[in-house]
């Protein structure tokens, strides 16, 4: 597993990078991670919180976990670390418009193109032998850009962020400046629906992929649209 993949795994288990804060002396902080160790003699799994401090790796025993799933064990270990007060959420900076550290993390990480979910989807499709155009307008005179375009098959793929596009499973309305953000998200959703309609009227097939979707399942949906 690459360093980037390991970091993403820790973020998912902790509930976001903003929830991996280890408080150090002198008001300093570090980003923690959970290490799982299986002891062969007892087959018990112990979780340790690890972080870097002054160029050295430190660790603190968190507790035992017992699931057969690594993902569940990591999630449980992060919960235990938080309950024990070993980690905390990143504090909101003064003047932040975000309603919480979770919302700020989404806002900070948001990019218009080449997001992690987009890159993963492109990589899987490429290894399936499919070729496509990236970040172009399916219809030149329509100012709407798709993340992946298959011109001959007339298939346009959009990879939508859960917060910015109002995912029914993961979108949570902001509590601060709620009307502003509600209008923003509803505007995005209306634009998405209008884009879908306009492309379909011109004979295009539109595939919408949520950022939380399992990449291989998203690939199969795209392939079904190409061969359907």
- Kindly report, residue by residue over 21-60, the tens digit of the pLDDT: 998 987 789 999 999 999 888 889 999 999 999 899 999 9
Under a CB-based contact definition with an 8 Å cutoff, are residues 81 and 31 in contact?
no
- Check residue 123 and give its pLDDT: 95
- Name the one residue in this structure whose structure tokens are 């109002």: 166
Q: What are the structure tokens assigned to 71, written together? A: 């993902």
Question: How far is it between the farthest Cα atoms of the chain?
Answer: 67
Under a CB-based contact definition with an 8 Å cutoff, are residues 30 and 17 in contact?
no
- Kindly report, residue by residue over 125-169, the tens digit of the pLDDT: 999 999 999 999 999 999 999 999 999 999 999 999 888 888 888
């Amino acid at each position: 597993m690459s360093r980037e993949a390991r970091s993403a795994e820790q973020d998912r288990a902790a509930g976001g990078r903003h929830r991996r804060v280890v408080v150090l002396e002198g008001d300093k902080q570090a980003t923690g991670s959970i290490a799982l160790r299986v002891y062969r003699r007892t087959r018990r799994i112990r979780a340790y919180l690890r972080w870097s401090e002054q160029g050295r790796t430190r660790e603190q025993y968190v507790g035992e976990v017992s699931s057969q799933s690594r993902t569940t064990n990591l999630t449980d270990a992060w919960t235990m670390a938080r309950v024990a007060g070993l980690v905390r959420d990143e504090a909101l900076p003064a003047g932040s418009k975000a309603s919480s550290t979770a919302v700020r993390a989404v806002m900070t990480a948001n990019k218009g193109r080449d997001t992690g979910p987009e890159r993963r989807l492109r990589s899987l499709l490429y290894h399936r032998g499919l070729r496509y155009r990236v970040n172009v307008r399916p219809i030149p005179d329509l100012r709407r850009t798709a993340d992946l375009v298959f011109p001959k098959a007339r298939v346009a793929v959009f990879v939508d962020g859960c917060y910015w596009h109002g995912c029914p499973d993961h979108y949570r309305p902001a509590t601060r400046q709620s009307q502003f953000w509600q209008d923003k998200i509803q505007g995005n959703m209306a634009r998405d629906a209008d884009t879908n309609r306009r492309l379909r009227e011109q004979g295009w097939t539109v595939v919408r992929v949520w950022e939380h979707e399992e990449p291989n399942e998203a690939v199969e949906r795209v392939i079904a649209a190409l061969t359907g």
